[in-house]
Amino acid sequence: MSSELGAIHLTAGCSAPEKVNEKWFQKRWCEQQDGQVEIRLIDNTRCDCLTNEHAIEVDFSHKWAEAIGQSLHYAKMTGMKAGILLIVENTNDNKHLTRLESVIQFHNLPITVWTTKQSELD
């Protein structure tokens, strides 16, 4: 019986990396920037990451459009610059990054964009 358990354990250990949620990215990336995670603002919204210069919304790439509004709101509420950390895990996600960057450029929005993926933060 112990050999069966060992085989199961070994197989599980060889699987692909576990998918992580947005909060995992917030915590890891924000700590690397010496920022504060999940800061409650006066209107009871929560800024995902607050650094010395930026109020940052962290989102998966398919949520790029709502990240624009949230980052601008956080910037207004904190007096900081707006920022977006876009989670771009694969080449299919690049279309979302392109859309985000083109809207920011077209409207001349004052938003700084960073990208990350799980393997960069493990």
Chain centroid offset of residue 55 CA: 12
| Average pLDDT value over all residues in the chain | 87
Number of domains in the chain: 1
Instruction: Give the single-character DSSP code of 51.
Output: -
Does residue 68 lie within any of the structural domains? yes
| Residue 2 belongs to a domain | no
What average pLDDT does this structure show over 1-12?
39
Q: Domain residues for 57?
A: 19-121
Whether residue 58 lies inside any domain: the answer is: yes
Taking the C-alpha atoms of residue 19 and residue 29, their distance in angstroms, rounded to an integer, is 16
| Residue 12 included in any domain | no
Q: Calculate the CA 117 to chain-centre distance.
A: 9
pLDDT, greater one: 2 or 48? 48
Q: What is the pTM of this model?
A: 0.83
pLDDT tens-digit readout, 43-54: 999 999 999 999
At 7-23, the pLDDT tens digits run 333 334 444 456 778 89
